[in-house]
Amino acid sequence: MERTDKKVEALRLTRLFGLLDEEALLWLAAQSEVRRLSAGEMLFFFGEPATGIFVIMSGTIRVFQQNSEGREQVMHIDTNGATLGDVPAFDDGPYPASAIAQTDSEVIFIGKEMIQQFCLQQPQFVLVALKLMAERVRKHAQLVNNLSFHEVGQRLALFLLSEGEKDGGEQQECISFRLSLSNHEIATRIGSVRDVVSRALARLQKLRLVTVKERTVTIPDVRPLKIYADSSLKATTIHAKH
C-alpha cells in the first residue's frame, strides 16, 4: 500500500490518534484505506450498519439528521483531523446520523475490527477516545438545551456569536465577519428554515444588535447580543408591550 506516510501524517494530526507512537500509527495506516469524496457525496446514512470509523484528511463533512420531508438538523460539522462514526464503532449499533461531504474531501477508513483490536493493545488510546466521546455528549446536551429553551432569534444570535468568535478570533466588543453560509444552511444548523432565518436576521437588525451589509455581519457590541440570546422571552415580551 503506497502513500502510507501520508496516512501516518494525517493520523498524527488528529486528536484521537495524535498521541500515539510511530509504530502504532504505521500499523493503523497499513490497515486503513483512503477514500475520496466529491462535494455532495454521502459518507454514510442514518440507520445503516456501521463498518468502521473515518478520519478526515481534507475537506469538510456535515453530520446531520433528517426527517421524512427532507428537513435537516445538523449535529456537527467537521474538518481536518476529526473522527466520524466513532459512536457506532464502540457501541456496535447502526449510524446514529447521516454524513455528507460539503466539499471535495479525503477520508481515511479504518475497519471496526481493526479499531477494536487496536483498543486492546493501546490502553491510553481508549482513554483519549473516551474523552472525545464525553465531549461529544456535552455538545449534544448543549444542542438539546438550545433547541428546547431558545427561540429561533436567540439561536440565530448564538450562531452569529459563535461564528464571530471563530472568525474574528479575539475577545472584542465589536466583531465583523463575512457570513459564508446561506440562510438555508444556517437554518439547518439552528433548527429552522430559510424564510424564518431571513426574518430573524431582519429582526436582529431592527433591534440594532447587528448590521448586515452584503453578507458581512457586524456586531457593534457583543454584550447586548449575548443578553438577547440568553434572555427569557417573557421578560422581553412584557417590555415590548409598552
Partner DNA sequence: AGGGTGCTATGACTTGAGTCATAAGGAGAA
Partner DNA sequence: TTCTCCTTATGACTCAAGTCATAGCACCCT
**CA 46 from centroid of its chain's CA atoms:** 16
Asked if residue 54 lies in contact with residue 107, where contact means CB atoms within 8 angstroms, the answer is: yes
Asked if residue 55 lies in contact with residue 105, where contact means CB atoms within 8 angstroms, the answer is: no
* CB of residue 86 to a second copy, shortest distance in Å: 7
For a second copy (CB under 8 A), the number of binding residues is 44
Position 122, amino acid: Q
Read off φ and ψ for residue 25, nearest 5 degrees. -65, -40
Cα 181 from Cα 150, distance rounded (Å): 21
**Site membership for a second copy, residue 144 (CB under 8 A):** yes
Nearer to a second copy, 1 or 126 (CB): 126
**Site membership for a second copy, residue 113 (CB under 8 A):** no
Residue 232 binding result from a second copy, DNA, none, given CB thresholds of 5 to 8 Å by partner type: a second copy
Partners of 59 in beta bridges: none
User: What angle (nearest 5°) sits at the alpha carbon of residue 197, between those of residues 224 and 102?
Assistant: 110
* CB of residue 178 to a second copy, shortest distance in Å: 28
Cα 54 from Cα 72, distance rounded (Å): 22
Cα 65 from Cα 56, distance rounded (Å): 20
Nearer to a second copy, 34 or 119 (CB): 119
Nearer to a second copy, 44 or 177 (CB): 44
Grid coordinates of 167: 472568525
Asked if residue 213 lies in contact with residue 177, where contact means CB atoms within 8 angstroms, the answer is: no
Helix then strand then coil, in percent of the chain rounded to 5, is: 50, 20, 30
Nearer to a second copy, 68 or 180 (CB): 68
**Site membership for a second copy, residue 137 (CB under 8 A):** yes
Q: Which of 147, 174, 202, 227 binds a second copy (CB under 8 A)?
A: 147
**Site membership for a second copy, residue 68 (CB under 8 A):** yes
Q: Read off the DSSP letter of residue 220.
A: S
Q: Read off the DSSP letter of residue 213.
A: E
Residue 45 binding result from DNA, a second copy, none, given CB thresholds of 5 to 8 Å by partner type: none
Site map 76..105 versus a second copy, x via CB under 8 A: ----------xxxxxx-x--xx--------
**Site membership for a second copy, residue 214 (CB under 8 A):** no
* CB of residue 143 to DNA, shortest distance in Å: 15
**Site membership for a second copy, residue 240 (CB under 8 A):** no
User: Contact residues for a second copy (CB under 8 A)?
Assistant: 65, 67-69, 71, 73, 75, 86-91, 93, 96-97, 119-120, 123, 126-127, 129-131, 133-138, 140-145, 147-149, 191, 230-232, 234
